[in-house]
Amino acid sequence: MRDVVGEASGLEGRGIWAQFGTTALLERVLVERTRTSGVYVYESELEATDLRITEVRGDGVDGSFGRGLASEIDSRLVLNRAVIEDAREVALFLQTTTADLTDVTVRGTRVDASDGSGGRAMGFEDGVTVVAERLAALDNVEVGLFVSGAETSADVSDLVVDGGEGRGVVVGNGAAFTARRASITNTRTSALYASKPGTSIALEDARIESASADDEGRFGRCVNAQEDSHVALARVEIDGCDDTGIFVDEATVEATDVRVDAVSSRPSDGTFGRGIAVQENAEASLERVDVATTQDVGLLAIGVGSVVTGTQIAIRSVAEKTCATSGCADRPGGHGVSAVGPARLALDGFLVDEAALCGVYVGADSEVDLTAGEVRRTSIGACVQGEGYDVGRLSDDVDYVDNAVNLDSVSLPVPEAGDTPGSLPSQGTE
């Protein structure tokens, strides 16, 4: 099916339209060069095998829409071996739909021509239930996968999100997202993003790599959890982030068998570069977590109500922030683990190795408890800012080895909290 023009007014222009109780079965179908959508399903069922949708251009009035496949309002969708490419706004849009997706690839989604918005590969919103195997979003302009709504859930096995100018996976507004065997690479701003109460992400056996800053040189976080969301990470490799590896703000994170590596200061001002940052009434529970080659702070708890507990934690090679030689020479950072006011941090079985300034930084009004660990090769093993702090809380079976100074209570600059990005709006209906 090719070259669907639409109405004389320039509106519509759908390739295949199933509505009001229709049951449609498609096999070996090509839909090419349509207008508002390649395939549109409304209150119906569609099952497609070997489906290819390409060049969806938007309507003939102002270029609005241009969705590859849209399914709405109590519909059911089954896709086996489907490719959607060169759509606009959002390539695969599901709303109040139950969907089974197998071997689905979305590639090269561009912005809505009418207002420059969108460019989203997949959007699952408002009452969608998705079970997917082998799902890929490649080189799309905005978000790879967007999951939103209190009654929305997506369970994905073997997920690949790569490339584009925006976030990799965004989950918000109470949605639940589970992924196992996932690769999220070459994104901008945030690779994995959770926001709003009731939102949950469970990610297992995954790799997150190369989350770069936005056009203003800000953010570039591999994992971003905020606004009462919950993220659980198990057996996850995180590598190559601008700003922060795992950022938690008024949210909760559980991380087991996680490695964070190669986090650099953000390009805009040379600040941050943190491995894990937990701030403002946030909580993190860490087990067998390794943080290496960061700047500013390897592991940070900051702000009222922030709590970090960890067992078998390693923090290695923390350098000063990039701006330490210019705009922030008075706040260079370079701390292994840090708690800043007031926050609580407790580690049992840990290593801090090679921190440019403090192996352990205890801010005034903060609490740090260390058990069964080692702090080595730092300028100052423990920097304690609170007057009268019981340093015995830092030395329960803890060895301080090869540090220039093991303990210093001289006042030092206090790390600052990170800024929180805004949420993305929902895509809306056609």
Per-residue pLDDT band for 422 (boundaries 50, 70, 90) equals: low
Task: Tell whether 50 and 122 lie within a shared domain.
Answer: yes
CB 374 within 8 A of CB 403: no
Residue 201 in any domain: the answer is yes
Task: Tell whether 338 and 361 lie within a shared domain.
Answer: yes
Per-residue pLDDT band for 402 (boundaries 50, 70, 90) equals: very high
Task: Tell whether 290 and 306 lie within a shared domain.
Answer: no
Radius of gyration of the chain (CA): 24
First CA to last CA across the chain, in angstroms? 22
Task: Tell whether 267 and 308 lie within a shared domain.
Answer: no
What lies within 8 Å, CB to CB, of 199 at 6+ separation is: 171, 172, 173, 174, 175, 176, 228, 229, 230
Residues 50-55, mean pLDDT to the nearest whole number:
97
pLDDT given for residue 346 in this prediction: 98
pLDDT given for residue 424 in this prediction: 44
Is the model's pLDDT at 423 over the cut of 80?
no
Task: Tell whether 104 and 154 lie within a shared domain.
Answer: yes
Task: Look at residues 301, 323, 353 and tell me which one is the last residue of a structural domain.
Answer: 301
Residues 373-400, mean pLDDT to the nearest whole number:
93
Residue 282, classed as helix, strand or coil, is: coil
Is the model's pLDDT at 429 over the cut of 70?
no
Enter the tokens of residue 251: 């949210």
CB 238 within 8 A of CB 261: yes
Cα 242 to Cα 47: distance, rounded to the nearest angstrom: 42
The mean predicted confidence, pLDDT, of the chain is 92
Task: Tell whether 316 and 297 lie within a shared domain.
Answer: no
Residue 322, classed as helix, strand or coil, is: helix
**Beta-ladder partners of 258:** 236, 289
Structural domain of residue 37, as residue ranges?
14-301
Task: Tell whether 289 and 333 lie within a shared domain.
Answer: no
Residues 101-108, mean pLDDT to the nearest whole number:
98
What lies within 8 Å, CB to CB, of 190 at 6+ separation is: 167, 168, 170, 211, 219, 221, 222, 223, 224, 421
Residue 321 in any domain: the answer is yes
Per-position b or e across 357-390, b if 16+ CB within 10 A of its CB? bbbbbbbeebbbbbbebbbbbbebbbbbbbeebe
pLDDT given for residue 388 in this prediction: 83
Among 64-68, 136-140, 178-182, the least confident range: 64-68
Residue 211, classed as helix, strand or coil, is: strand
pLDDT given for residue 184 in this prediction: 98
Cα 203 to Cα 171: distance, rounded to the nearest angstrom: 12
Residue 419 in any domain: the answer is no
pLDDT above 90: percentage of residues in the chain? 80
Task: Look at residues 301, 330, 365 and tell me which one is the last residue of a structural domain.
Answer: 301
Residues 318-331, mean pLDDT to the nearest whole number:
91
Per-residue pLDDT band for 60 (boundaries 50, 70, 90) equals: low
Based on the structure, what is the number of domains in the chain? 2
Residue 6 in any domain: the answer is no
Task: Tell whether 229 and 250 lie within a shared domain.
Answer: yes
**Beta-ladder partners of 264:** 242
CB 137 within 8 A of CB 144: yes
Task: Tell whether 268 and 296 lie within a shared domain.
Answer: yes
Cα 301 to Cα 346: distance, rounded to the nearest angstrom: 10
Task: Tell whether 219 and 229 lie within a shared domain.
Answer: yes
